[in-house]
Structure 1
């Protein structure tokens, strides 16, 4: 009996079976071979609770191309996969699950029981992005897959950071952070959910130092004015060209601050004068 070919390509009937065959045959194993030049790539580890997005797909595709190309050139090629613990985002997901399904917080459970819940979450969802990567056909050596909380990895990270710091290749500096009063911790920009809310423009008079008048500044954040270090106007704004280079007095603080020209100031918005607060 003849079996008809499907009218369209059905990847689910082919790709999974072929990938499993490749994996079982050890096609992606990066075994050391003294007769070959070594070539290795370490995958920037995606979040353990995450899902594959276009950035991951592009990154994996480029690394896969390089690794496969080097194999074809005769190198002992190794592509090391792994996942990141993503502590804050994982904590947020587990806390949300506790709150919605059980009406509890991490404080109700205590540290040890909450950690147990986090590890259970990792075991349940931690392999999702790996399966998605396999669906893409990436040629990693999965036998070498690592998790950033595996034994020894933290030590390796510390040693690497210290070495890069001692060489002057990285440095420690002060940065503005996102502080979450609910989680009581710092969050990365990727973890912040932004909401647009109606604002209000406050108009504040900054007296000119020479006594010739004042400069009206429009701001949505009057509470930060005590830290102002200057006032900016657009260099093309005919109303304020004559003030550039002069100074004005910061109200309440009675501090003299400069008036500068900056194209960042939007013509026609507010009063055309913007307070500068670092």
Structure 2
């Protein structure tokens, strides 16, 4: 060997990722992470994740204590593959399913129990792959559920309570009207007339409350079932307005609000439609004047 040349020791080539101090350049792409590539370890396996998820959100309006996610999972007709819980944030839990049918039934049953007041969480369907047919099936099921509950409320206990009060007033009104047909002095006659007017106003107010509540419920039904208000026998103004896709949490809030207003029995609720009609008429008059009509 020529003494003028230094001796070079042969080192086998190693991929750069095996060197201890190898750092990929900042502009390099990460190494592929393919779960089906088992060249490095033929026994390596990554289990596939469930395809369908039902997320459970806290009610932003404050609906009481957060229920146990596991308890809700146990109530599902089809048991989820697994479930997750979260300690903070709006998302409190998630139910994971491998089959669409299980996720569908979970969303519907969770909304059904929420409408019953069993819990305060808002269920929402989520999936990596969006299948329009699945979304349509879910929407159809929830429309049917909400429509059935609304019709039940329209003939429910609160409506019956106001109708029973009205019937008692009608009985009393009938007695006063009968007394007015008999001879009596002016003072007694005037007292009976005042009582008759008071009972008539009370009866009308009760009927207006129930009518206003049913008008609101018919408004929601028309929106859900994509029909006109006339098909529900409504000829007045639309007392509730909606926009865009179905927001089930918002629809539920509207239903609860109307139920509270009926229960509170405030006089202004009974005259809401008349007030809105007056506002609408004034707006039309102002616009007509502004444009010279």
User: TM-score range, shorter-chain basis?
Assistant: under 0.3
Structure with greater helix percent = 2
Length-normalised TM-score, structure 2? 0.19
Q: Which has the larger radius of gyration?
A: 2
